[in-house]
């Protein structure tokens, strides 16, 4: 299957700082990318949908000013967690779709805010 890479795999940051997570589709052009968040022992929760060159669409209850999403090219989307707090500690996962079939997921980024 297609390869989607996330970076970093894990990050620890201080409360109040911002963290950027990258999601890259390595061998196909991703017209649409999705960002999910997963807390321990819970399922994945869709946060937002980003389309290349346009503003992201956020799910209800997700703060767009806190979780900034940029999809500047067909192979890269970034999620920036601004002014991170301990409650933002979670497993963040992206997926990418070419629009022709199934979505492929990155390996996830473990964020710990201290």
Partner 1 sequence: DAKTTQPTSMDCAEGRAANLPCNHSTISGNEYVYWYRQIHSQGPQYIIHGLKNNETNEMASLIITEDRKSSTLILPHATLRDTAVYYCIVRVGAGNQGGKLIFGQGTELSVKP
The residues of the shown chain that bind partner 1, judged by CB under 8 A, are: 1, 4, 6, 31-32, 34, 36, 43-46, 49, 91, 93, 95-108, 110
Q: How far is the CB of 16 from partner 1 (least distance, A)?
A: 27
Q: How far is the CB of 78 from partner 1 (least distance, A)?
A: 17
Q: Which class for 66: exposed (0-12), middle (13-18), buried (19 or more C-beta within 10 A)?
A: middle
- As a whole number of angstroms, the distance between CA 8 and CA 80 comes to 12
Q: How far is the CB of 32 from partner 1 (least distance, A)?
A: 6
In eight-state DSSP terms, residue 26 is S
Q: How far is the CB of 57 from partner 1 (least distance, A)?
A: 9
Closer Cβ to partner 1, 100 or 114, answer by number: 100
List strands edge to edge, sheet with 19-25: 4-7, 19-25, 76-81, 67-73
Q: What's the residue count for the chain? A: 114
Closer Cβ to partner 1, 6 or 113, answer by number: 6
Closer Cβ to partner 1, 14 or 43, answer by number: 43
Supply 73's token pair.
Answer: 């090219």
Closer Cβ to partner 1, 22 or 82, answer by number: 22
């Amino acid at each position: 299957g297609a390869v989607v890479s996330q970076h970093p795999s894990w990050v620890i940051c201080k409360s109040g700082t911002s963290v950027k997570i990258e999601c890259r589709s390595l061998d196909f052009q991703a017209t649409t990318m999705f960002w999910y968040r997963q807390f321990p022992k819970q399922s994945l929760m869709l946060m937002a949908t980003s389309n290349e060159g346009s503003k992201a669409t956020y799910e209800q209850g997700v703060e767009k000013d806190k979780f900034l999403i940029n999809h500047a090219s067909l192979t890269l989307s970034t999620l920036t967690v601004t002014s991170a707090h301990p409650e933002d500690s979670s497993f963040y996962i992206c997926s990418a779709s070419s629009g022709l079939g199934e979505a492929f997921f990155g390996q996830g980024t473990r964020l710990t805010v201290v």
